[in-house]
């Protein structure tokens, strides 16, 4: 395993502990200017996010109605009632984003798909970088104020649905994740930089509870005047 990745995984709780868990559940509140661009009304009501850790599956509830939830996998997105009956579904959902740009409106299933692939990526980082098929390499260090961050570039296989095939992960002196760069391919491929702060310990796994994603400028720094996406997590439970 890459030396930096090994230290990052150890700092976030270690591979052995991560492997002992199967899923994570958290309360999530989110918003930001990106949703308005997509024609989506985003409220700040708390929701429950669930995700599997070793395969791509995620769910948000409630979704669209009090008795409904979203269910995401790479090859299917659905809105289901809590009794399991299907309200709406789309197979091969990634195909529905063909030709999309930043301002292209999304329907409810497209929004659910974005929620699923994005939040699964965030809740499993950096451990997902050690999954089969993912290749990483260390880049030149990044100067951030008085700190120097080490950077991993990850190359994701087509079997993993995530923002883009190539992404960068920035780690502080304590090897905790500080920033995550990617392109939002299902929205025209615009460059984004997500900043992570306010770490917590949930069952021995360390992860940030505050995430702020911005458009990434030509100098590779986040344009912080407007948060495209903001995410606050609480009550995080691994099991």
Residue 108 pLDDT greater than 90, yes or no: yes
Mean pLDDT calculated for residue range 106-127: 96
The pLDDT score that the predictor gives to residue 234 is: 97
Domains, the chain: 3-238 (2.50.20.10)
Per mean pLDDT, which of 97-106, 164-173, 218-227 is the most reliable?
164-173
Out of 76-80, 205-209, 224-228, which region has the weakest mean confidence (pLDDT)?
224-228
The pLDDT score that the predictor gives to residue 37 is: 86
Complete DSSP assignment for 49-106: EEEESSS--EEEES-SSTTEEEEEETTEEEEEETTS-EEEEEESGGGGGTT--TT---
The span from the CA of 159 to the CA of 156, in Å, is 8
Say what the pTM is: 0.95
The pLDDT score that the predictor gives to residue 36 is: 87
Query: What pLDDT band is residue 40 in, cutting at 50, 70 and 90?
Result: confident
Radius of gyration of the chain (CA): 17
């Amino acid at each position: 395993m890459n030396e930096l990745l090994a230290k990052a995984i150890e700092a976030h709780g270690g591979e052995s502990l991560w492997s002992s868990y199967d899923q994570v559940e958290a309360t999530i509140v989110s918003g930001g200017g990106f949703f308005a661009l997509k024609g989506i009304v985003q409220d700040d009501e708390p929701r429950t996010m669930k995700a599997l850790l070793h395969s791509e599956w995620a769910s948000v509830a409630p979704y669209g109605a009090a008795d409904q939830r979203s269910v995401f996998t790479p090859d299917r997105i659905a809105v289901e009632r809590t009794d399991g009956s299907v309200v709406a579904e789309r197979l091969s959902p990634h195909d529905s984003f063909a030709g999309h740009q930043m301002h292209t409106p999304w329907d409810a299933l497209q929004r659910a798909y974005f929620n699923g692939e994005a939040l699964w990526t965030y809740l499993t980082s950096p451990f997902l970088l050690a999954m089969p098929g993912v290749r990483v390499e260390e880049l030149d260090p990044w100067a951030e104020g008085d700190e120097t961050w080490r950077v991993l570039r990850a190359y994701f296989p087509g079997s993993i649905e995530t923002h883009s095939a190539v992404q960068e992960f920035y780690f502080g002196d304590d090897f905790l994740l500080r920033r995550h760069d990617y392109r939002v391919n299902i929205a025209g491929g615009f460059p984004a930089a997500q900043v992570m702060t306010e770490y917590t310990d949930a069952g021995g796994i360390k992860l940030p509870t505050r995430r702020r994603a911005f458009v990434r400028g030509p100098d590779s720094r986040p344009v912080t005047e407007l948060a495209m996406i903001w995410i606050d997590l609480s009550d995080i439970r691994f099991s």
